[in-house]
Amino acid sequence: MTRHFLRDDDLSPAEQAEVLDLALRLKADRFAERPLEGPQTVAVFFDKTSTRTRVSFSVGIADLGGVPLITASGDSQLGAKESIADTARVLERMVAAIVWRTFAQSGLEEMAAGTTVPVVNALSDDFHPCQLLADLLTAKERFGDLGGRTLAYVGDGANNMAHSYLLAGATAGMHVRIGAPADYAPRADIVEDARRIAEQTGGSVLVTTSAAEAARGAHVVATDTWVSMGQEDEKAQRLAVFGDYGVDDELMAEASDDAIFLHCLPAYRGYEVEASVIDGPASVVWDEAENRLHAQKALLAWLLARKDG
| Catalytic machinery residues | 101, 128, 131, 224, 264, 292
Cβ 127 to ligand CP shortest distance, Å: 12
H-type alpha helices, the chain? 13-28, 52-63, 84-92, 105-113, 129-143, 160-171, 188-201, 211-215, 235-241, 249-254, 275-278, 285-304
CA angle 243, 249, 254 (to 5 degrees): 95
Return the residue nearest ligand NVA (CB atom): 228
- Report if residue 224 touches ligand NVA, rule: CB under 6 A: yes
Grouping H, G, I as helix, E, B as strand and the rest as coil, residue 258 is coil
Return the residue nearest ligand CP (CB atom): 53
51 binds, among ligand CP, ligand NVA, none (CB under 5 to 8 A by kind): ligand CP
**Looking at the DSSP assignment, which residues form a beta bridge with residue 72?**
46
Cβ 151 to ligand CP shortest distance, Å: 17
Residue 224 is assigned to a ligand binding site: yes
Asked whether 256 and 233 are in contact (CB, 8 A), the reply is: no
Q: Which stretch binds ligand NVA (CB under 6 A): 62-70, 158-166, 213-221, 277-285?
A: 158-166
Decide whether 51 or 237 has the Cβ nearer to ligand CP. 51
SS3 content of the chain, % helix, strand, coil (to 5): 45, 15, 35
Distance CA 63, CA 74 (A): 27
Asked whether 292 and 130 are in contact (CB, 8 A), the reply is: yes
159 binds, among ligand NVA, ligand CP, none (CB under 5 to 8 A by kind): ligand NVA
Residue 138 is assigned to a ligand binding site: no
Which secondary-structure segment (H or E) carries 156?
Answer: none
Distance CA 118, CA 304 (A): 7
Cα dihedral: 300, 147, 136, 205 (round 10): 110
- Report if residue 159 touches ligand NVA, rule: CB under 6 A: yes
Decide whether 54 or 149 has the Cβ nearer to ligand NVA. 54
Binds ligand NVA by CB under 6 A, chosen from 228, 256, 283, 296 = 228
**Looking at the DSSP assignment, which residues form a beta bridge with residue 70?**
44
Q: Which stretch binds ligand NVA (CB under 6 A): 221-229, 233-241, 275-283, 287-295?
A: 221-229
Decide whether 53 or 115 has the Cβ nearer to ligand CP. 53
- Report if residue 90 touches ligand NVA, rule: CB under 6 A: no
Which secondary-structure segment (H or E) carries 267?
Answer: none
Where do contacts with ligand CP occur on this chain (CB under 6 A)?
50-53, 123, 131, 264-265
Closest of 52, 209, 186, 194 to residue 126, by C-alpha: 186
Residue 4 is assigned to a ligand binding site: no
Q: What is the sign of the dihedral through the CA atoms of 21, 294, 170 and 144?
A: positive
- Report if residue 91 touches ligand NVA, rule: CB under 6 A: no
Give the footprint of ligand NVA on this chain (CB under 6 A).
123, 128, 159-161, 224-225, 228-229, 264
Binding-site residue positions for carbamoyl phosphate: 50-53, 77, 101, 128-131, 264-265, 292
Binding-site annotation: residue ranges for L-ornithine: 160, 224, 228-229
Which residues contribute to the annotated binding site? Answer: 50-53, 77, 101, 128-131, 160, 224, 228-229, 264-265, 292
